[in-house]
Structure 1
Amino acid sequence: MRDSDRYLMPEGAKVVGRQDDVFEMRITIPSDEHGFFGRQCPSCTQIFRVDSSDYDALPDDLELWCVYCGHHTEHSEFLTQQQLDRAMRAVDDLGTQLIQEAINDAFRGLTRPRSRRRSGFSIEVSHRNKPFYPQPLPKINEEQLIRVRTCATCTLRYAVFGEHRFCPVCGLLPAEVVALDALAAETARLDGLAQLPAEVSASLREQGVFTRIWVDTLENLVGVVEAMTSKVFHSSVTDAATLVKGKGNIFQRLDDTADLFAATGHLDVRSVIDTPTWQRLQEAWATRHLFTHNDGLVDAKYLAKVPGSTAKTGQRLTITEAMCRQAITDTEALCRAIAALTAP
């Protein structure tokens, strides 16, 4: 009798081979209603999801990347805890039957003694071969995807549940993709604030929470552009490290960044972006610098950067949600323009 017929396994599990005492089982991992299933990083333990049809088409010796922390190892190491529990249930069912089989072999042909000595003792063994009924495998009930992402390089469809930097197959994502994702997160944060109940919103506004979040938005936009332009420049210019040495946080400064790219044979980004957009970016960057280094109090340096401002020295600037949303839109245009500078 074949092992696949010899051992009763629950639906979704099957014994497919045996070599000596080593059994090979195949256990299905059910996909969700969208055709995705989970992967869990063995390093940071966070879960992401991948499209099952895309995944099945990948090579058997595939190595996966954690989308969050970038841990890189053999794909079988990315089982989720629920998938592991499902597999262990099948292993337990097989183990139970193997133990039962071993007991049957041990007591086969054993008969009860007909007599016993007065000074000794006897042992009676009662063995009943009870039928085995496997229990259903546990279902998978993991976090469901919110939106599908598609890697522009390998076309793998996957879903994440937080800020990520890697494709499960390709590894590190392009700088432009990371930047645009970060900008989308800033918009989502502003959208979330707008959906707060009126009484909660009023209380937070009175305590200055909204203003602090708007300041943080501008701070984050500068950080997004700095990170992206640095990666783009270093990947496209051979002696990039030498050219930026001693120039401080050059990628935080818009004009200096534009000059740096232009000096290495790229187009001047200021000629790609329309003048009103560039002027708004200059104002947003100057405002961010003012709040970071001078608590928002206007100084001569700010007025030199924003000559059209009506604010006076010593006056504290005010920031609005509309200004932040416009700054996000303008920053997206800047990121796309910078990416295009080095596009093949």
Structure 2
Amino acid sequence: MKQFEIVPHTGGKISIVPSENSIGFQNQKDHATAVFQLGLSLVDGSVTYVPFGGIGTTTMPKGAIPIYVFSDKEGYFGKSCPACKGYFRTDSGGEEIYCPYCSHFDNTLSFLTETQQEYIEIYIKTVLIALQEKSDIEIDLDNIIANLSNNSSPFVYSEERQQRSNKCKSCKIRYDILGEFGCCPNCGKLNTFEVFNESLSRLLKRLNNSSLEQETQSSEWADVLKNCVSEFEAMAKDINKELLRIPATPSRKEAISRISFQRISEANESLSKWFDIDFLKGISNEDRIFINRCFNKRHILTHNSGVVDDKYIKNTDDTTVRLNQKIYVEKDEAIKIINLLRSTGKKLIDGYESIS
């Protein structure tokens, strides 16, 4: 499936039968479909979220009529955050949701997209006309879709696929977001470790690729080490972004924002002092030295073609190399740093979740 591809409306039919005081919907397609329900008060015109009841029951308030909001044909509802304006999709049709980008928590009505709002407006006008004229109306969404080349009718708004589809490990809700990191719209749980862990698994798979020519193996192992450190830094920055949401003085927030995970020991010291998050806890001194050397190796591999400079020697006290020597990465080194950063990354995320 292509990212940013337009996903059509799920289709179906809406039937409005004033004589039976009935408004219903049906969809018999073989693709995914989902619906959530709002209620329009005929007393004051307000719109509220209304959960579906069990079979044969209704939760619609007295004096209100149902508004059915449909998913796209993949079963997702598009959402637009009222705080950061970020767009995402989710199969959650709950009353309150989180923005996966900025963690804003609000009523689902606040997350309606512009096209969904236009749909609700025309839906309400159509229902009120049917009630006033006491005439039955059937809105064939499938027919509208079939006869529109540009999907321009407000009755059949489309959505847009984003870049990463997630299934929350906690509540099993699915969501589709821009980029990699985000929180579940339903329960607010971060996907940070899941993304990081998947990246490390892909790197391990690269190390086990025996089809590489022998002369290219060392450069491949060096690239794996570079990517492993970069993935850890990206994951840690995402957690740091969440830590900045915790109330603190301006000076403390400024200090938190300046944390550099390239200097992993200093970053751990700061988080231990301010949040009691010690993600290097239980790591031996030998392994801490190894991690620090790998982080500095990543730097010279990226910025100095792998040639040892004064800064590398100063930051690592590595007596096994010489100034201006070109370093090489062994397979065992790459495997070891992956395993160590998987462990430290889990401790960092567990530490954040213990205070959030």
Q: Does 1:159 align with 2:166?
A: no
Match of 1:168 among 185, 189, 199: 185
Q: Give the CA deviation at 1:76.
A: 1.0
Deviation at 1:284, TM superposition (A): 1.7
Q: Is 1:186 equivalent to 2:199 in the alignment?
A: yes
Q: Which amino acid aligns with 1:289?
A: H
Q: Give the one of 319, 322, 346 matched to 1:336.
A: 346
Counterpart for residue 146 of structure 2: none
1:222 maps to which of 205, 210, 233? 233
Determine the C-alpha separation between the residues in 1 that align with 2:349 and 2:247: 11
Q: Which runs of 5+ in 2 are unaligned?
A: 1-15, 27-36, 47-62, 143-155
Give the conservation status (yes or no) of the 8 Å contact 1:50–1:157. Answer: yes
Q: Tell me the SS of whatever aligns to 1:222.
A: helix
User: What SS does the corresponding residue of 1:272 show, helix, strand or coil?
Assistant: coil
Residue from 80, 83, 86 that aligns with 1:41: 80
Q: Within the alignment, does 1:289 sit opposite 2:299 as a pair?
A: yes
Distance 1:9 1:339 in 2: 47
- Secondary structure of the residue aligned to 2:42 is strand
- The match for 1:135 among 131, 134, 139 is 139
Q: 1:76-132: CA deviations, max 9, x gaps?
A: 132357756765674464366468x39xxxxxxxxxxxxxxxxxxxxxxxxxxxx86
Note if 1:78 corresponds to 2:91. Answer: no
Aligned residues: 291
- Tell me the TM-score normalised to structure 2 length: 0.54
Q: Secondary structure at the match of 1:135?
A: strand
Counterparts in 2 of 1:1-344, with a 5 A limit?
4-5=18-19, 11=25, 18-19=42-43, 24-29=64-69, 37-42=76-81, 44=85, 46-52=87-93, 55=94, 58=95, 62=96, 64-70=97-103, 73-79=106-112, 87=120, 90-91=123-124, 93-94=126-127, 97=130, 101=133, 134-137=138-141, 146-150=165-169, 157-161=173-177, 162-168=179-185, 177=190, 179-184=192-197, 186-187=199-200, 190=203, 215-225=226-236, 228=239, 241=252, 249=259, 251-260=261-270, 272-275=282-285, 277-291=287-301, 293-303=303-313, 310-318=320-328, 326-338=336-348, 343=354
Q: Secondary structure at the match of 1:160?
A: strand
- What secondary structure does 1:315 align onto? coil
SS of corresponding position for 2:66: strand
Report the Cα distance in structure 2 between the residues aligned to 1:14 and 1:301, rounded to whole angstroms: 62
TM-score with structure 1 length normalisation?
0.56
Give structure 1 stretches of 5+ with no counterpart.
103-130
Whether contact under 8 Å (1:50, 1:158) holds in the other structure is yes
Cα deviations across residues 13-58 of structure 1 (Å, max 9, x unaligned)? Answer: 9998634999953133457999x64241155452221445xx2xx5
**Match for 2:175: what amino acid?**
A
> Which structure is higher in helix share?
1
Partners of 2:121 and 2:275 in 1: how far apart?
59
Note the aligned Cα RMSD (angstroms): 5.7
CA deviation profile, 1:245-293 (whole Å, cap 9, x unmatched) = 9xx7565323334555666796976551245543431222111232455
Paired letter, 1:18:
L
Task: Check conservation: 1:68, 1:163, Cα contact below 8 A.
Answer: no
Contact 2:79 2:112 in 1 (8 A): yes
Is the CA contact (8 Å cut-off) linking 2:38 and 2:69 kept in structure 1?
Answer: no
The structure in which a higher percent of residues are strand is 2
User: Identity, % of aligned pairs?
Assistant: 15
Q: Deviations over 1:129-176 (max 9, x none)?
A: xx865133458986599542145xxx58342334344443666x6xxx
Q: Against the structure 1 CA distance between its residues 223 and 31, is the aligned structure 2 distance closer, same or farther, given a 3 Å change threshold? A: closer
Q: Distance in 2 between matches of 1:14 and 1:241?
A: 43
